[in-house]
A and B are shown apart, each in its own frame.
Chain A
Amino acid sequence: MHSTLSFSRATTVPTTNYAFHSQSPINLRFCGLRREAFGISILTRSSSGRVRLSTRGRSKRISASTGNNGTPPKSFDYDLIIIGAGVGGHGAALHAVEKGLKTAIIEGDVVGGTCVNRGCVPSKALLAVSGRMRELQSEHHMKALGLQVSAAGYDRQGVAGHANNIASKIRSNLTNSMKALGVDILTGFGTIVGPQKVKYGKVGFTDNVVTAKDIIIATGSVPFVPKGIEVDGKTVITSDHALKLEFVPDWIAIVGSGYIGLEFSDVYTALGSEVTFIEALDQLMPGFDPEISKLAQRVLINPRKIDYHTGVFATKITPARDGKPVIIELTDAKTKEHKDTLEVDAALIATGRAPFTNGLGLENINVVTQRGFVPVDERMRVIDANGNLVPHLYCIGDANGKMMLAHAASAQGISVVEQVTGRDHVLNHLSVPAACFTHPEISMVGLTEPQAREKAVKEGFEISVAKTSFKANTKALAENEGEGLAKLIYRPDNGEILGVHIFGLHAADLIHEASNAIALGTRIQDIKFAVHAHPTLSEVLDELFKSAKVLDMKTLRKMKS
């Protein structure tokens, strides 16, 4: 049984990571999440103490449900209970077993969570199709390779089936891997009823209460739908619906131009749709390094059947009905005045994701969420309303909002397991890579150039930028995919890598050399001697590191004196 998945392998954490000091919270906007839905998530070590006045506080539903509230049990059913069996919970569970913990995982829906069932996994299936369609449709590209292909077409049902199959396959892999290792999978929605105590059960059944020495909340997120937008699941949809690919509209508006929106624009345009982006900020792709997003716009937006409206909110979206198309009201983001009305065949809401923490019973332990996010410190320890740490309670993944990426959740889970088994560990979020699987792909790790400049000014050091082009790479040229750029932001004084951004063929696979270097603290002067097979795309990074100019000691001393 192939029970080990690629991400579960991430269990071995490099030891150097332990040395890392907590970085100040980073505010990367992954998964296209709205800035407003973010930022606040990390006011953890609160000197600003009492901020937490929940905006949408959970209703006072519970309170007296358990009599012995407040007294932790003496012996526990489990060493570790994880609420939520997404990629984060799965990663934590596997590592916990490896560490010899008796572990249970509670899942109210399906194993695999968003990533496997409604996110990264099925979308990669669709993107695999779109990538091939794109190649086959590119007459110029084919001709350059000397290939002849008659008109490429697709069968929607077949494409949707592929996406669905891969999701269920990965899902069963996940389930089996946990079962094989002896993780108990408890079915039902988990609720924290007191310290170290969780109840779970299906609606209409009696609840079971279990105790555990430590609890990890890993409940993830759901698509965020702004007010005024009516989602009917047919013509106005979220990524959940879009991944089922129930129809391919002639013209679809995508609200939000982050990762999710961008990837879907790649899919839809390859399948023949026209796309209109609606972005609240002034620039498309606001989360990316500006230079990368500019280049990406030239390649991924401008030549395709895409137009866009920036600096506008979609304040009202009405699904198609009564013989009318989908109607979208656009409001200027600054003046709040009505700006335009669009009539399209479908609208995809990709404005980010909201944490799924309702009903977790956090009020039982005096924890107040921030716009739904569970407040945590840099060790993922949950913080209560008074700014104190809640003992034995951790929150990882989208639910804490630190970095809304599947692999970040898994890394956080592993970090927590390390802590509860006696080794202090802080995850360096700056070493967590991110990727957008358009054609070509975009990937990044660490800081963007503006972020690095800001940090440099604040901390008083210099930064430099090095760039290399895919056009100079033999393998990329052989593939006739020479379009692309890799960018390195670093400190010339000590060779520290601050950020790497790649736009080009297989960028998502290339980023790991850089992210590993950041995680391990490898400096440019060392990594530039690493050898890369020729001819491979990895030589793009090789070139990049070699082109960086790290000052030698002599020059440095001269500068100092």
Chain B
Amino acid sequence: MQTQLGSAVFPRLLRRSLSYIPSILYSLHSLLNLFHFFRFLSNSSPQSQKHKEMASPFLSNTIISFSSSLSSSSSLPRLAPSIPFSAIRSKSTPRRILTVRSKIREIFMPALSSTMTEGKIVSWVKSEGDVLSKGESVVVVESDKADMDVETFYDGILAAIVVGEGETALVGAAIGVLAETEDEIAEAKAKAASKSGASTPSAPPPAPTPAAASTPAPPKSTPAPAAPTVAEGPRKTVATPYAKKLAKQHKVDIESVVGTGPYGRITPEDIDAAAGLSPSKKNVGLAVVVETKPAAPAKAPAASAAPSSLPPPVPGSTVVPFTTMQSAVSKNMVESLSVPTFRVGYPVTTDALDALYEKVKPKGVTMTALLAKAAAMALAQHPVVNSSCKDGKSFTYNSNINIAVAVAINGGLITPVLQDADKLDLYLLSQKWKELVEKARAKQLQPQEYNSGTFTLSNLGMFGVDRFDAILPPGQGAIMAVGASKPTVVADADGFFSVKNKMLVNVTADHRIIYGADLAAFLQTFSKIVENAESLTL
């Protein structure tokens, strides 16, 4: 039972069961849509009591409700193009490892399993100069799952072996060169020589071989000056077995991580933290500095040319690659630049809302639910603000009003969605919100629960932010940024002064579908609803 290249590949030994795939998809998807960006225009004044309930979680909890949005399923397909071309091809056509280029063919490292990113040459069955005929086994490759015989699909002469026994190569990298006739051996050998010299795979490697690996590691010459323990001289890095495995998996340069474990060793938590996955439990002053190099996942191959234009990294700084969530945010942020947005701000008097809140709070109603309900009721009267522009040519009116509320979780951002917020009553809505937050904390949100929003609400009031500006998530028409409510001196038409609680809301909208007057009218309605807060309970 041997592997016929170009047809289904069968393991010679057992393949390990395909066990690891599922979780990745989920997390990728959850992160897709997230993005957010706020500019703090100013920062002042005592913050109103009103957002107290949201303010507390700042340090103690993983979840803070601020910031924004999400982009529905439309962004999913966009992920695809980011997978290198070769990977797609190798999936759609039967796996092919020999490509035709003149009469000299390269033998590529085949992808023997769905999770294989690199393979080790166990042995070359044939040696240089051997004549091969189609179907003969040429090389034995060890993948993450099994050893497999790899057969040639062409007749020819094995002109040169690029990757020797015991060495590893990325999937898609040339491991040998096949010449069709003896005359071409010399040429093929020259080709092989250039290959082994360059050591970079000639075909773009599949997805998970990003720049990180080749990114020049932070200057090695500066041995982390931050070593917290009294280091006698350059201290040797001690990392636990699992920490090493994780570092390899997440492409974290282990030398750049400062260990927080016993005796200063690097623990798996340290690596997770460095990779931005989950925060390490105990660290406070973990010296992981994000920065110095925008990890440009889009142009990995060009990386060698790029650095010259960038300022050299500050000595001692640390490069930490984006996590999948952060990459997704980054991608969405850049994408959002293609949408022409504008912003309209509006001061809203919240005395009535505050009074209502005090009244319903004991019943478990949260400020988030109140605001979402108010926004939903306003949207019901202004369907255009609840619409979106999918193709640049039309309005897409959404039949439901689903309010996404941005929530910060450690190392990222997620937007649980309150579906049909206009139809549910305040109490149900609060109940629903509580469930969503719990699920978000446990990372158990279903896709439907974070990507079905039609309008996003982002609130930074609990930090004392008086106004800010949110970026419109791709796939939605508008996003509302809510600042803190604070006592403000107001003069009425008769010239009487009074002090009222005022809150600034700022809506960012897609001007292709929502115009200034639309937004202004929507905000006016929203303001009226908030000022007559009792209607929220109806």
Inter-subunit contact B16/A275 (CB<8 Å): no
Which residues does chain A contribute within 8 Å of B500, judged by CB atoms? none
Inter-subunit contact A325/B14 (CB<8 Å): no
Near A by CB (< 8 A), chain B positions 5-21 give 13-14, 16-17, 19-20
Which residues does chain A contribute within 8 Å of B265, judged by CB atoms? 251, 343
Bound Cα distance A471, B236 (Å): 45
Inter-subunit contact B236/A485 (CB<8 Å): no
Q: A140-B19, A325-B263, A343-B265 are in contact. Are A250 and B240 (CB under 8 A)?
A: yes
Which residues does chain A contribute within 8 Å of B268, judged by CB atoms? 305
> Measured between C-beta atoms, what is the minimum distance from B10 to chain A in Å?
12
Inter-subunit contact A251/B22 (CB<8 Å): no
The A-B contact count (CB < 8 A) is: 52
Bound Cα distance A140, B268 (Å): 21
Bound Cα distance A325, B261 (Å): 12
How many interface residues does chain A have, given as a range? 20 to 34
Inter-subunit contact A484/B14 (CB<8 Å): yes
Bound Cα distance A343, B267 (Å): 13
Bound Cα distance A291, B244 (Å): 26
Q: Does A157 contact B (CB under 8 A)?
A: no
Other-chain contact of A295, B13, B19, B245 (Cβ < 8 Å): B13
Inter-subunit contact B241/A251 (CB<8 Å): yes
Bound Cα distance A276, B265 (Å): 14
> Measured between C-beta atoms, what is the minimum distance from B12 to chain A in Å?
10
Q: Does A132 contact B (CB under 8 A)?
A: no
Inter-subunit contact B262/A325 (CB<8 Å): yes
Contact with A along B309-336 (1 / 0, CB 8 A): 0000000000000000000000000000
Q: Does A160 contact B (CB under 8 A)?
A: no
Inter-subunit contact B263/A343 (CB<8 Å): yes
Q: Does B145 contact A (CB under 8 A)?
A: yes
Contact with B along A295-310 (1 / 0, CB 8 A): 1001100100111000
Other-chain contact of A276, B22, B147, B241 (Cβ < 8 Å): B241
How many interface residues does chain B have, given as a range? 20 to 34
The chain A residue sitting closest to B147, CB to CB, is A294
> Measured between C-beta atoms, what is the minimum distance from A463 to chain B in Å?
19
Q: Does B242 contact A (CB under 8 A)?
A: yes
Bound Cα distance A275, B265 (Å): 15
Contact with B along A280-320 (1 / 0, CB 8 A): 00000000000100110011001001110000000000000
Inter-subunit contact B241/A299 (CB<8 Å): no
Inter-subunit contact A299/B22 (CB<8 Å): no
Inter-subunit contact A485/B241 (CB<8 Å): no
Q: Does B238 contact A (CB under 8 A)?
A: yes
Inter-subunit contact A483/B14 (CB<8 Å): yes
Bound Cα distance A306, B22 (Å): 24
Q: Does A341 contact B (CB under 8 A)?
A: yes
Bound Cα distance A471, B265 (Å): 41
Inter-subunit contact A483/B241 (CB<8 Å): no
> Measured between C-beta atoms, what is the minimum distance from B414 to chain A in Å?
21
Q: Does A345 contact B (CB under 8 A)?
A: yes
Bound Cα distance A471, B17 (Å): 9
Which residues does chain B contribute within 8 Å of A140, judged by CB atoms? 19-20, 22
Inter-subunit contact A471/B14 (CB<8 Å): yes
> Measured between C-beta atoms, what is the minimum distance from B252 to chain A in Å?
16
Q: Does A274 contact B (CB under 8 A)?
A: yes
Which residues does chain B contribute within 8 Å of A39, judged by CB atoms? none
Bound Cα distance A294, B120 (Å): 14
Contact with A along B221-241 (1 / 0, CB 8 A): 000000000000000101011
Which residues does chain B contribute within 8 Å of A276, judged by CB atoms? 241
A299-B16, A325-B262 are known contacts; what are 8 more A-B pairs with Cβ within 8 Å? A305-B241, A307-B241, A343-B263, A470-B14, A471-B14, A482-B17, A483-B14, A483-B16
Can you list 7 A-B pairs with a CB-CB distance of less than 8 A?
Answer: A250-B261, A251-B240, A294-B147, A305-B241, A307-B245, A343-B265, A345-B262
B-side interface residues toward A, CB under 8 Å?
A: 13-14, 16-17, 19-20, 22, 144-147, 236, 238, 240-242, 244-245, 261-263, 265, 268
A-side interface residues toward B, CB under 8 Å?
A: 140, 250-251, 274-276, 291, 294-295, 298-299, 302, 305-307, 324-325, 341, 343, 345, 469-471, 482-485
